[in-house]
């Protein structure tokens, strides 16, 4: 057995593949009562989904009652606000405006009813006078305010989770890529390449795949894992455009959701700089992911934003960054909820696979960690 970061170990209680927000939250939670190693192939934590998003704390408005997305977003939002407050991770509960244009009023009402059904923080209907006084730049037919929505610094969150996990005794290894998995119940063997491309084998009783876009490729090559439990994963790139100059608002502004996303919305960061996105651009799946922003989509962004901000000057929009969301399909039908596989689905005790964890995965990270802990026992 070769050493991991200078520490020799033949067996560890729990191995986590992936050091994004969810992998780090898992390490923080699980390392309280077991030995934990996190294997991350990049040279920094959170280089994919965790740092290429809108940095929004979602209030759980959109997801169907009984879904994992709904339950874990609601629990995760409360936990994330508490965690940010307790640790000093920068955040602001700025609120979100849900904006309907003429002909979309019924869709806005459906959002209101769904939020009520799942127990999300109550939405407030603003009168035309109210929102025109508060946001005179905004064009809408009807507006709802989600006071439970907010923003935070995702990079500070990653740093804090990493620190907490380390203090608990978890070992977080960067530049360590898992190249093969051998699966037997409560006995998993990982072939790992370190930063020098030297290989070693790590054995663990519990294995958690939290590698985001890389999860399905790991499972496809995992010896002993049932192939019929590996869904197809497609990729949707989300482009973001930044707004030069002053933001028209300190709130989040969301149009009505579309088929595979929440629409091209306006978000602000902790410095109150505004950006728009993400859109939904289907791309050919690649690993590593293709994060090159598609600047040619600017005209689409301008059209979308001018629906609720008619006076937007297109010259103020500049390409900023892109993220990629994993979209799962089974028998060519989309799986729109999180997919958390445990022994009940694949028959391998001690193994948890976190698949299709797109938005609101970052908001739900702390709750997902508690969910996994409960399933592992």
pLDDT tens-digit series, residues 205-216: 999 999 999 999
Question: In the structure, what pLDDT confidence band is assigned to residue 100 with cuts at 50, 70 and 90?
Answer: very high
Q: In this structure, which long-range contacts are made by residues 309-314, counting pairs with CB atoms below 8 Å and at least 24 apart in sequence? A: 309/137, 309/138, 309/139, 309/248, 309/266, 310/139, 311/137
Residues 35, 46 within the same domain: yes
Q: How many domains does the chain have?
A: 2
Q: Report the distance separating Cα 164 and Cα 158, nearest Å.
A: 10
Q: Report the distance separating Cα 233 and Cα 356, nearest Å.
A: 8
Q: What is the CATH number of the domain that holds 31?
A: 3.50.50.60
Token pair of 207, please? Answer: 């294995």
Residues 190, 242 within the same domain: no
Token pair of 177, please? Answer: 């890529």
Residues 248, 307 within the same domain: yes
Asked if the structure places residue 4 within a domain, the reply is: no
Residues 252, 292 within the same domain: yes
Q: What is the pTM of this model?
A: 0.96
Question: In the structure, what pLDDT confidence band is assigned to residue 11 with cuts at 50, 70 and 90?
Answer: confident
pLDDT tens-digit series, residues 17-56: 999 999 999 999 999 999 999 999 999 999 999 999 999 9
Asked if the structure places residue 84 within a domain, the reply is: no
> What rounded mean pLDDT belongs to the chain?
95
pLDDT tens-digit series, residues 306-345: 999 999 999 999 999 999 999 999 888 999 999 999 999 9
Residues 266, 177 within the same domain: no
Q: What is the CATH number of the domain that holds 124?
A: 3.30.9.10
Asked if the structure places residue 81 within a domain, the reply is: no
Phi–psi pair at 39, nearest 5 degrees: -110, 115
Domain that holds residue 195: 11-51+156-230+333-376
């Amino acid at each position: 057995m070769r050493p991991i970061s200078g520490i020799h170990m033949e067996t560890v209680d729990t191995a986590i593949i992936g050091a994004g927000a969810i992998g780090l939250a898992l390490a923080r939670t699980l390392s309280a009562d077991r030995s934990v190693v996190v294997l991350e192939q990049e040279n920094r934590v959170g280089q994919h989904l965790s740092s290429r998003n809108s940095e929004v704390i979602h209030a759980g408005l959109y997801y169907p009652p009984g879904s994992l997305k709904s339950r874990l977003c609601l629990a995760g939002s409360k936990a994330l606000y508490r965690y940010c407050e307790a640790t000093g991770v920068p955040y602001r509960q700025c609120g979100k405006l849900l904006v309907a244009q003429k002909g979309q009023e019924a869709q806005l009402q459906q959002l209101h009813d769904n939020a009520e059904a799942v127990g999300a923080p109550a939405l407030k209907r603003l009168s035309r006078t109210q929102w025109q006084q508060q946001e005179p730049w905004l064009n809408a037919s009807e507006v709802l305010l989600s006071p439970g929505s907010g923003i935070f610094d995702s990079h500070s969150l990653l740093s804090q989770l990493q620190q907490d996990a380390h203090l608990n005794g978890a070992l977080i290894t960067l530049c360590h890529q898992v190249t093969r998995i051998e699966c037997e119940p409560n006995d998993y063997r990982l072939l790992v390449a370190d930063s020098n491309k030297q290989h070693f084998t790590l054995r663990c009783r519990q294995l958690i795949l939290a590698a985001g876009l890389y999860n399905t490729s790991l499972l496809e090559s995992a010896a002993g894992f049932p192939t019929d439990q590996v869904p197809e994963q497609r990729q949707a790139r989300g482009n973001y455009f930044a707004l030069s100059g002053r933001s028209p608002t300190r709130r989040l502004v969301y149009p009505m959701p579309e088929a595979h996303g929440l629409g091209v919305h306006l978000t602000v960061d902790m410095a109150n700089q505004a950006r728009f996105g993400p859109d939904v651009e289907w791309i050919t799946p690649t690993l590593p992911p293709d994060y090159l922003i598609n600047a040619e989509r600017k005209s689409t962004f301008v059209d979308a934003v001018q629906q609720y901000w008619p006076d937007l000057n297109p010259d103020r929009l500049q390409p900023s960054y892109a993220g990629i969301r994993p979209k799962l399909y089974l028998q060519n039908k989309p799986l729109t909820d999180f997919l958390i596989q445990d022994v009940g689905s694949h028959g391998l005790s001690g193994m948890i696979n976190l698949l299709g964890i797109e938005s609101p995965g970052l908001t739900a990270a702390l709750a997902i960690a508690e969910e996994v802990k409960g399933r592992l026992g």
